[in-house]
Structure 1
Amino acid sequence: MLGFRSLQTIQLRLIVIYVLLILIAMQLIGVYFIRTLEDSFYGNFNENVDNEAYLLADYVKDYLDANLSGSSGEEQKTYEDLTIFIRNLFATNDTEIQIIDANGIVVSASGQLQEGIVGQKNTQTEVSRALQGIRGNERTMIDADGKRKRAVAMPVQSDGKVIGAVYVVASMEGLFDTMNRIKQFLFTGTVIALGLTAILGIILANMITAPIKEITRKAAAMAVGNLNQRVNVLANDEIGQLGNAFNDMTYRLKDALSSIEEEKEKLASILSNMSDGVIATDEHGRTVVMNRMARAMLGLSDDEPADGRDVLELLGLERAEVGEAAWTDGESLGVVLHPDEGGEPLAVRATFSPIHRRDHGVSGTVVLLHDVTEQEKLEASRKEFVANVSHELRTPLTTIKSYLEALDEGALEDRALAERFIGVTRNETERMIRLVNDLLHLSRFDSRQKSLSLERVEMYELLEEVTDRFAFQARQRGMALSVDIESGVQPALVDRDAVDQVLDNLVSNAIKYSPDGGLVSLSARRLTGEPGAAARVEVTVRDQGIGIPKKDLGRIFERFYRVDKARSRNMGGTGLGLSIALEIVKAHGGTIRIDSEPGKGTAVVFTLPAAGEEREDG
């Protein structure tokens, strides 16, 4: 296993492959070369030994034939001469020669043991076969010294008759020594070739793997986020093409990640600034993303963790309320949230939209939280408004109908009673006319059809005229009206009729809800804001009446809202006066507020633009 792990690098694999390739090639060449060389050497050796035996057989024929026939003379060939010839011929050769007569007796020999061999009978099988006239008698043997030798017996014939044999024993040690030297040379050459191959393999492998290692290092750097990587391309080969592809991939990846990051920032910005809350969950309903508005709706602080929390738990819903269809098909549910303890609850519409992933089904859900609190309030106000209008119209209409029926049934004959009934009918009719006019005023302001005719109006003149209009009504109840104008107050730039209507409503309410003998004061002062801000005029209508409870101050400007409904209706009020005053003041770009304390009186304060300030008619 360790050896296998050590071959995990391409460089080492290439080196091993090259070395093994050369080793196998050298082994195959060596085996073939040695085998061929051995066959050649063996063939040449055997041929030489056979040729020597054949030539000797031809040469010693005369000696054997002469000794066999017993001839004599000066030319007589003796065995001693033959021995000298053989000894001189093979003195430097490690070959043993035996000349054997027809009876198998050694008559001549070479070598150190020739004295002990001559005269002895040779009983070797190959010799016996040769004396029988058989050729091709040979044998390979190992002598007592452990040396390998080859023995060949060649028959000597004369006139077709075997007269003896030549027995040649040639040593093969020289042949094997030569083969061993050749093998050693081949082994040395193989080792040198493997060493050179290893060196060349290292160089070649490094040329191949160095660019790959560089690409690997840069790819690892990219994996940890460092995208500023570029490979140096030195050639246009396959590795160079790989480097070009890597550089192109790096450029495209940087561009793609930059686009993704930009889109992510856009999405994060959109989510953060959405007026609706967004919650993204995984397939198990656990929160993974939540924007700032959703945190505000759920009452979670910025540092409070939300990831991993169940979205139904955050919304205060049970899974049975939502149902499985919401997670797969989408659904909208109404939810009431309490972001602050003791605070006003929020009416929220939660819309579940599943996220479908190709080949994976539903991989998550996006929950959109839309705050419908104001819509619910507007809907409730609309319903209340319709109910109030219906009630305000139904009451005088019912009264008018009742008195008309009474007149029709005979009350018309009683003049005094008829006049009283007609007077009540007239009052109720005027009340309905005032109500309809007030509604028309509000409708024009709501639809922005009401235009203001602005003019310069002195505040003292404006307030004095209001007190004059209500002087008779105030004297009847023993009340006093006062006007206080701060010195230096600029004229106001207003629609006089509209502001007169505001003051009439406010002064009328002050007189209605103040005890007899009380004081209603009107004042105006110059209101300056920060440097460079437009100068304004602040008008205050203050009474010493019954005041307004604190719980009703937040709704006092709502249409048809009355603190004491029965008393207000009996006094002829429509419940729209303050609403109209608010719309007129807002149309002038001003503000209006009420400061009141039960039993101590009420002060209505509103602001108007001072003359000299440009503004568009609204």
Structure 2
Amino acid sequence: MNGVRFFRSIQVKLIIIYVLLILIAMQLIGVYFISTMKTSLTSNFTTNMNNQADVLAGFAADKLNARTEKPGEDGQAGEDDLSSLVRNLFSINEAEIQLIDASGKVLATSLSIHQEYVGKKNTTLAVSRALQGIRDNEEEIIDEDNVRKKIIAKPVLYESKIVGAVYMVASMKELYATVNRINRIFMSGMLIALGLTGVLGILLAHTITSPIKGLTRQAAAVAEGRFDRQVPVHGDDEIGRLSEVFNNMTMRLREALETNEEEKDKLASILANMSDGVVATDEQGVVMIANRRAREMLQSDCQGRPLSELFDMEERHLQAMLGGGGESSTVIHRQHPDEELDEVMRVTFTPIHRRDKGISGAIAVLQDVTEQEKLEQSRREFVANVSHELRTPLTTIKSYTEALDDGAMDDRELAQRFVSVIRNETERMIRLVTDLLHLSRLDSNQAPLRRQSTSVPEMLEEVADRFSFQMRKKSIRSTVRVEDGIKHVLLDRDQIDQVLDNLVSNAIKYTLDGGRIEIVASRPDPSSIAIRVKDTGIGISRKDLSRIFDRFYRVDKARSRNMGGTGLGLSIAREIVKAHGGTIALDSEPNEGTTVTVTLPALQEGGAAS
């Protein structure tokens, strides 16, 4: 075990790494150097043999040619000359030269011990190739004595005619002995280098590990809570900077512990002022902490109460939500005596996990989603109203169409009346769809304002003129009044005309015969103008005023539908006025009349208020 721990020491690892690096580098250098040296020596050796073979072939060409042309003349003298030439010219130790005539017979040899070869044929492959005129005939062999030798055979040419061959066999023992000596020298140098590297590695590793040991001792002291000690800094290298950083960390850790209580107070302050309620429990599910918002939403003192009791939930259901491992949420409805709609809270439970101990508590975050629920309810009502408004005319159209198909078409008067009803219901659906599309464009800002300088007196007079016929039919008197100083204002004339048309149309519908309608433009302040449409109609009850601008809301649904309204006019008017940056308000009393006031910014050319 101690041996294993010894090899885990960083000092030993550094020494091993340095030694291995030097060893690998030396091996790579040695392999390259020795391989290159061996190749160079072998190449020089072969070149030397080839050069001497070429020289010998040049000198022996005349003699071999003469012997070929006059084989009977002075044969013994010619062989002696060739033997002398072979012995005196060649200078490679432990080598043999043979001069061979065109038939392959040995004429001379440089070794006296091989004189019996003279007169015999040399049948080696290299000689056969040379006598065929092939110049590159080289090979290496290992003889019976395990000695590596080099063989070269070259043709002897006389005026492009092959008259013989030179056969050379040289021992490469000295060459490989030189390579072995170089290997031994390199190995000795490598061992010396490894020894020196080991010593230097020990010294270098000590300079690195000694400060690390000091840092380890200081870290143990900090873990025990002693912050008064400092690690000595021995230099400006990486370890010295590490020591400085560690000393700085120790100081900051001490400061952090000193401010821990202050952070706790800050956390308590944050919890107390959060817009969401927060409740924390222990592992038994008993509330330990609850912020002020949670107490307001739950209207009780949460401290010490079980979570299941606090939210009026079954313990089994609560445990199932907390046991999921992640966040889980549920919606809680609480009846409020002063509100028509229940208070709706979304509670998100998050279990607190402690390592190796499972769930040690839970956090519950409470969010008031009552307004969201109201919006969702409005959306559902809107969908239901659209469905109802479309279903009624479609049902009527279907019924009258079936009646026409069943034979009512044969009765011209009745058929015309049915077609008239179908046309009216179709136009009513077209108006409804048109209003819905207009509202959709206003909601998605796809109906940009096209402001232009508009004369307010002229615009109000034109509105009164457009409805003059309808007012005369009901004997309604109309009055248009514009305060002094109100002339031109920048606004989208078409859209404001639509708002005024809707207001005046509603006033006519709900004003009895002989009533009165006033259209008044005034200036409540220098930066805005107010257009007021006042009638003496049947009015609206106070309970309906809060929802009068809701889409599809009608005070008297049956009567409004019979008058051709879609229930979207005031909603569209509100959106148009809001797009202009203005406001719209409605004031009414039953049987006394209704006043609708549209307030718009009084913009002039250049964007300034008039």
| TM superposition score normalised by structure 2 | 0.55
Alignment CA distance shift 1:426-1:246 (3 Å) = closer
Residues in 2 aligned to 1:231 and 1:298: alpha-carbon distance in whole angstroms? 50
Contact between 2:279 and 2:365, CA under 8 Å: does it hold in 1?
yes
- Counterpart pick for 1:308 among 289, 304, 308: 304
- Compute the displacement of 1:232 (Å): 11
CA distance in 1, matches of 2:299, 2:500: 43
Deviation at 1:518, TM superposition (A): 0.9
**How many Å separate the matches in 2 of 1:296 and 1:457?**
53
Q: 1:449 to 1:365 in 2, by over 3 A?
A: same
**579, 586, 598: which one aligns with 1:587:** 579
Opposite residue 256 of structure 2, the aligned amino acid is D
Q: Provide the C-alpha distance between the structure 1 equivalents of 2:577 and 2:443, rounded to a whole number of angstroms.
A: 13
Cα offset for 1:614?
Answer: 6.7
Q: Distance in 2 between matches of 1:343 and 1:387?
A: 20
Could you tell me which residue of structure 2 aligns to residue 546 of structure 1?
538
Q: Is the 8 A contact 1:298 1:339 kept in 2?
A: no
C-alpha separation in 2, matches of 1:558 and 1:609: 24
CA, structure 1 residues 310+550, in 2 after alignment: closer, same or farther (shift >3 Å)?
Answer: farther
The one of 337, 345, 355 equivalent to 2:334 is 337
Residue 425 (structure 1) shift: 1.6
Uncovered stretches (5+) of structure 1, i.e. residues with no partner: 1-218, 224-228, 237-244, 529-533
| Residue 326 of structure 1 pairs with residue 300 of structure 2 | no
Map Cα deviations across residues 363-420 of structure 1 (whole Å, 9 max, x no partner): 2211122333233222222222222111111211222222223333333333322222
Q: Offset at 1:258?
A: 4.6
Alpha-carbon distance in structure 2 between the residues aligned to 1:365 and 1:608: 53
- Residue 351 of structure 2 is aligned to residue 354 of structure 1: yes
Q: 1:262 to 1:335 in 2, by over 3 A?
A: same
Partner Cα distance (1:339, 1:286) in 2: 26
Answer yes or no: is 1:385 the counterpart of 2:376.
Answer: no
Query: Distance between the aligned counterparts of 2:528 and 2:443, measured in 1?
Result: 25
2-structure distance, mates of 1:230, 1:402: 92
Find the counterpart in structure 1 of residue 396 from structure 2: 399
The partner residue of 1:429 within 416, 426, 429 is 426
* Residue 298 (structure 1) aligned with residue 298 (structure 2): yes
Kindly report which structure 2 residues correspond to 1:117-156, keeping only aligned pairs within 5 A, or say none. none
Map of 2:277 onto structure 1: 277
1:261 CA drift (Å): 5.2
**What is the count of residue pairs matched by the alignment?**
371
AA of the residue aligned to 1:582: R
What does residue 170 of structure 1 align with? none
- In the alignment, what sits opposite 2:286? 286
Relative to structure 1, the CA distance from residue 613 to residue 259 in structure 2 (aligned partners, 3 Å threshold; closer, same or farther) is farther
What runs of 5+ residues in structure 2 fail to find an aligned partner? 1-221, 234-245
* Partner residue, 1:253: 254
Assess, with a 3 A threshold, how the Cα gap between structure 1 residues 348 and 571 changes in structure 2: closer, same or farther.
Answer: same
Could you tell me whether the CA contact under 8 Å between 2:227 and 2:254 is conserved in 1? no
| C-alpha distance in 2 between matches for 1:418 and 1:343 | 49
Larger Cα-atom Rg: 1
CA contact (8 A) 2:308 2:315 kept: no
Aligned to 1:575: 567
Task: Note the 1:393-542 alignment, pairs <5 A.
Answer: 393-489=390-486, 491-528=488-525, 535-542=527-534
Match of 1:119 in 2: none
| Contact 1:280/1:366 (8 A) holds in 2 | yes
1:539–1:423 Cα change, 3 Å: same
Query: Do the aligned partners of 2:277 and 2:297 also contact (CA within 8 Å) in 1?
Result: yes
Q: Secondary structure at the match of 1:516?
A: coil
Distance 1:311 1:252, change over 3 A: same
Bigger shift: residues 466-475 or 373-382: 373-382
Secondary structure at 2:273's aligned position in 1? helix
Identity %: 53
Structure 1 residues 411 and 232 mapped into 2: Cα distance closer, same or farther (>3 Å)? closer
Distance in 2 of aligned mates of 1:471 and 1:248? 87
Give yes or no for the alignment of 1:370 onto 2:362.
no
State the alpha-carbon separation in 2 of the partners of residues 493 and 260 from structure 1.
Answer: 61
Bigger Cα displacement from structure 2, 359-368 vs 423-432: 359-368
Structure-1 separation of matches of 2:286 and 2:322: 12
Q: Distance in 2 between matches of 1:538 and 1:375?
A: 33
1:291–1:593 CA distance, 2 compared to 1 (3 A): farther
Q: Is the 8 A contact 1:231 1:246 kept in 2?
A: no
The aligned counterpart of 2:73 is none
* In structure 2, C-alpha distance between the alignment counterparts of 1:248 and 1:320, rounded to whole Å: 47
CA shift in 2, pair 1:230/1:392, >3 Å = closer
Length-normalised TM-score, structure 1: 0.54
Counterpart CA distance in 2 for 1:465 and 1:358 is 79
- Residues 492 and 608, structure 1, Cα contact 8 Å, conserved in 2: no
- 2-structure distance, mates of 1:450, 1:259: 57
* Number of the residue aligned with 2:96: none
Which residue of structure 1 aligns with residue 3 of structure 2? none
Contact 2:453 2:605 in 1 (8 A): no
SS in 2 for 1:556: coil
